[in-house]
Amino acid sequence: MESRLYRPRRSVLYVPAVNEKALGKIASLACDAVILDLEDAVAPSGKAAARDSLQRFFAARSWGAREIVIRINAAATEWGAEDLALAVSLAPDAILLPKVDTPRDLLEASDALNEADAPETTKLWAMIETPRAMLNIGAIAELGRDPASRLACFVAGTNDLVKETGVLATADRRHLVPWLMQMVLAARAGGIDVLDGVSNDFRDLDAFARECSEAAAMGFDGKTLIHPAQIEPAKLAFSPSPEAIAEAEAIVAAFARPENATLGVISIDGRMVERLHLAQAQRLLARA
Ligand code: COA
Ligand code: MG
C-alpha cells in the first residue's frame, strides 16, 4: 500500500531449512529477502532436523538487514501445527502459508498467531498454487485491506500449479500467464505485494533474465529464486531502468513549473501527461 514503508522484494531466495551450508551463506548474499523452507524443499524424514537447524539459525541472528520469512507445512499436514508454533516463537518478518485454498485458511492462521501472541510485525504471506486458490483469488486478496488479517504478499507457486492443473510448462509460460495476471490484479486490488514463481533451470541465466523482465512487465514486485546466481538478474529486472527514472524526473519537473501548477494535463515532447502520471512517476522515484 502507498502508506507502508517501501520494502524491496525484487529477489527473494528460498533456502531449505535443512541445508546448514546454504543457511550459512545467507549473510553474504545480496538478496532482498529469504524464505527459509520447512515445506517442499525438506523431505518428510528431514522435517524435525530442519526445525532444529532453523532454531539454531535464529539463535545466531546473522542475516543482515533483509526480510526473513519462514515457509511452514500446511495446517492439514502432520507437521503444520508444530511448524507454526516454532515459526511464531522465532518472530520472523512473515510466515509463508503453502497450499492456501480459501480466505478461511488465512483467517485461521491469523487467529492462531493472535492466540500465540505473535508480534504485530509478523505478517502472513500466501502461496497461490492450487486451482481453488485461483478461483478464490479475489476474496483471498481482499483480506489485504484488513490489517488484522496480517496478509502482506502473494507468492506464485508455479510448479504446483502445473502439477495440479496439467498444463504444459513451456519456456514462454503461455498457459500460466492468465493465472499469473489474475494474481497480480488481485494483489493490486488487495493492496499487497506479489512475487513470481521460481525458474527451475538455474544454469540458464539468459532464459532466467527473460523470464524476470516478463514478470516485471506483468506487474510483479519481484521473483522467488532457488539459487544465488539468480539474485543479480532479478534485482536488475525489478529495479526501475535509467530511462524510466529519467522520464519520471522529467514529469515531476514539468508539473513543478509555476505555469503548470493549476493544470491537470500537460504535454511533454508531444505526449499527453496527466496528474495520474505524476503520481506514478513519484512512486517510481521512491522505489529507485
Ligand atoms: N541458498 C543459499 N545458498 C545456496 C542455495 C540457496 N538456495 N543454492 C545453492 N547455494 C549455494 C551452495 O551451497 C553452493 O555453496 P558453495 O559454493 O559454498 O559450495 C553454491 O551456492 C553453489 O551451489 P551449486 O553447486 O550451484 O548448487 P547445488 O547443487 O549445491 O544446489 C539446489 C542446487 C537446487 C539443490 C539448491 O540451489 C537448492 O536447494 N535451492 C533451493 C531449493 C528450494 O528451496 N526449493 C523449494 C522452493 S521451490
Ligand atoms: Mg508448492
Ligand positioned closest to the Cα atom of 158 = 2
* Cα of 155 from ligand 2 centre, angstroms: 10
> Residue holding cell 526445525?
51
User: Model confidence over 254-280: pLDDT tens digits?
Assistant: 999 999 999 999 999 999 999 999 999
User: Model confidence over 217-267: pLDDT tens digits?
Assistant: 999 999 999 999 999 999 999 999 999 999 999 999 999 999 999 999 999
> To test the ligand 1 pocket, which listed residue (34, 53, 227, 231) has its Cβ within 8 A of the most ligand atoms?
227
* Cα of 13 from ligand 2 centre, angstroms: 14
* Cα of 227 from ligand 1 centre, angstroms: 5
Segment 98-123 mean pLDDT: 97
Q: Is 159 exposed, middle or buried (0-12, 13-18, 19+ CB in 10 A)?
A: middle
Return the ligand 1 atom nearest residue 14 CA. 44
What is the value of pTM for the model shown?
0.95
Judge whether residue 1 has pLDDT over 70. no
Ligand positioned closest to the Cα atom of 24 = 1
Judge whether residue 138 has pLDDT over 60. yes
For atom 33 of ligand 1, which residue has the closest CA?
227
CA distance 230 to 47: 26
Looking at residue 208, its pLDDT comes to: 98
- Domain at 11-237: CATH architecture: Alpha-Beta Barrel (3.20)
- The DSSP call for residue 31 is -
Looking at residue 136, its pLDDT comes to: 98
CA distance 183 to 13: 20
Q: Is 282 exposed, middle or buried (0-12, 13-18, 19+ CB in 10 A)?
A: middle
User: Model confidence over 49-94: pLDDT tens digits?
Assistant: 999 999 999 999 888 889 999 999 999 999 999 999 999 999 999 9
Looking at residue 288, its pLDDT comes to: 87
Q: Which residues make up the environment of ion ligand 2, defined by Cβ < 5 Å? A: 129, 157, 160
pLDDT band at 2 (very low <50, low <70, confident <90, very high): very low
Segment 185-207 mean pLDDT: 97
> To test the ligand 1 pocket, which listed residue (226, 230, 231, 232) has its Cβ within 8 A of the most ligand atoms?
226
Phi-psi region of 139 (alpha: psi -120 to 50; beta: other; left: phi over 0): alpha
Looking at residue 72, its pLDDT comes to: 98
Cβ atoms of 15 and 26 within 8 Å: the answer is yes
Return the ligand 1 atom nearest residue 37 CA. 44
CA distance 141 to 86: 26
- The DSSP call for residue 177 is H
The amino acid that residue 280 corresponds to is: Q
Q: Measuring from each residue's beta carbon to the nearest atom of ligand 1, which residues come in under 6 Å?
A: 13-16, 21-22, 25, 37, 40-41, 198, 226-228
Which string of DSSP letters, residue by residue, matches 84-141?
HHHHHHH--SEEEESS--SHHHHHHHHHHHHHTT--TT-EEEEEE-SHHHHHTHHHHH
Segment 183-211 mean pLDDT: 98
* Cα of 44 from ligand 2 centre, angstroms: 15
Which residue ranges make up each domain of the chain? 11-237, 242-287
> Residue holding cell 543479480?
232
- 10 Å Cβ neighbour count for 221? 23
* Cα of 28 from ligand 1 centre, angstroms: 14
